[in-house]
Structure 1
Amino acid sequence: MGIETTVADKKGTELCELSTRKVTDSNSDTIKTNRRPKKQRRRNKKMQLPVQKLYETCKDVFAIGGAGIVPSTDNIEKLRAVLVIVLDAYKPGFYCVDDIQPDDVGLSPEMPYFRTQSTRRTPAITYLHLFDCDNFSIGIFCLPPSGVIPLHNHPGMTVFSKLLFGTMHIKSYDWVDPVADVPCSTSALNPSQSNAVQHPGVRLAKLKVNADFTAPCNASILYPADGGNMHCFTALTPCAVLDVLGPPYSDPEGRHCQYYLDFPFSDFIVDGIKLPEDQREGHAWLQEREKPEDLAVVGSLYRGPKIVEK
């Protein structure tokens, strides 16, 4: 069951007919009808839908695509501008207004995707597919309260994530240079961790973000080697996240989604790796893991305004 109404249905198509003006010619008794040309009347075109604008901007920004290819600064700003929040000076109190809002993609927190789930220990997450090609993909993750997208990476990708509504905790990391796996030389300092992780092939990462975010807020941008390439999302309330990946995941091309466990820096002693006491909380050891068995991502039909491919 779902809400079928789209933004296009809500707004409708407003047609304005031009009235006919009668003009009296002072040199004759003839009444002339002055009609505006059809082409001129058609100039009152509908505004471009936000989701269509997003697609066309992505098509331009990721025109030259491929793993590790980061769009130019100008193109990054161009796409950021489509997802940015602005201060609406025409509303009392200067409210924050998103350029892309939930109803622009046919979503609201009352939809079934966002209901609290009592039957599952870990709530299922719904994915709405909007568009994908070799160079980029656009989709929306719908998370009910307590929904979690575990810590995972984005190999060779530039990613724009926009929280459409709700409050979400985001934790993200970047690898610490040099880019090399660091074998653990001793057992875990914590005996309980020693039992849980027998052979921790761990790698050092720096904490980039560890905070709560509430919509409206600006889009986050991560890069192949910066910006928090490995991240984890935890929904504190019903949340919807718009995701743009450039390029998208592709196993044949080596862009596999890898999941991780994270451990405090103090849990392991690793040869040659030392940090000052005041920097340890800002670093962690990441260990590769299989896709969590309790992670359920269910595809569903996107019911918002359709993207017209050009």
Structure 2
Amino acid sequence: MDRSDFGAAVRHLRESTDPAAVGLPVVSRRVSGLRREELGELAGMSADYVRRLEQGRSHPSAGVVKAIARALGAGRADYERLSALAGYAAADGQVPTDLGPGATRLLERFADTPMIVTDAAMNLVAVNSAFLALEHWDRTGERWEWNVAWRAFCHPFAAFQQSATDARSHEAVLVAQLRAARLRYPADASLAALVDEMRSRSRRFDTLWRAPRPVAAYESSATFTQSDGDSLTLVGNLIALPGDDLAAVMLTAAPGSRDAARLVEVVGAADGRAVVKVGQTGPG
């Protein structure tokens, strides 16, 4: 464990916390966030101890990590991250899979934009009907058929094609997401089994897992082929939803392009459902 990383994370959360959100009076402040004295009082520890934690001069117990997270009103993702940086598994150590209100609103407000929501392990949690209209997510009957990373490395989609450059970018992001999830959720047996199977089944994934590439950008383009033989090229952008430790991928076409016009046609033929929950048994 690098104590300085934990300390930097605590300081960032402290300085980013709205005092009113944790029950403190709204007064004129020279700096944003909470003072060390305020965090110490809320968490049941001295301001000097908070200072030593932030400076990397003290190692917190699991109870201290939990107290700090509670005092700051930290969401699950931030608590999981603090725990991992301190060298502990969080309370249950399981990847959360609930579709939170933020992700639901995102799907509802961009109903005409193909979009998916995944958990930290890259399992699909929900999609919208615009995404289903792309017709590329075929079924395999295998355990991980709804996992984005597993499909990319172990059972690629026939109707989904990328250039070599975009494929490298896409793979780098998927490996980075899974590695981060393993750090945050070391006790999640299902996630561990997924990584083990991918490493044994895909030599390319195993190589990247052992020596990951740096992530240059959280976007890449791909061509989707429709059942009528036509195709369209879309750019996927990964958007973090940290409160629930979920991520969304939005697929868009270049404005004014032939692909944009084709996307309007494809989405217009969808049934219009804004939120389609996904699981091992498929959309429903």
- Report the TM-score when normalising by structure 1: 0.25
Structure with more strand by fraction: 1
Structure with more helix by fraction: 2
- Report the TM-score when normalising by structure 2: 0.27
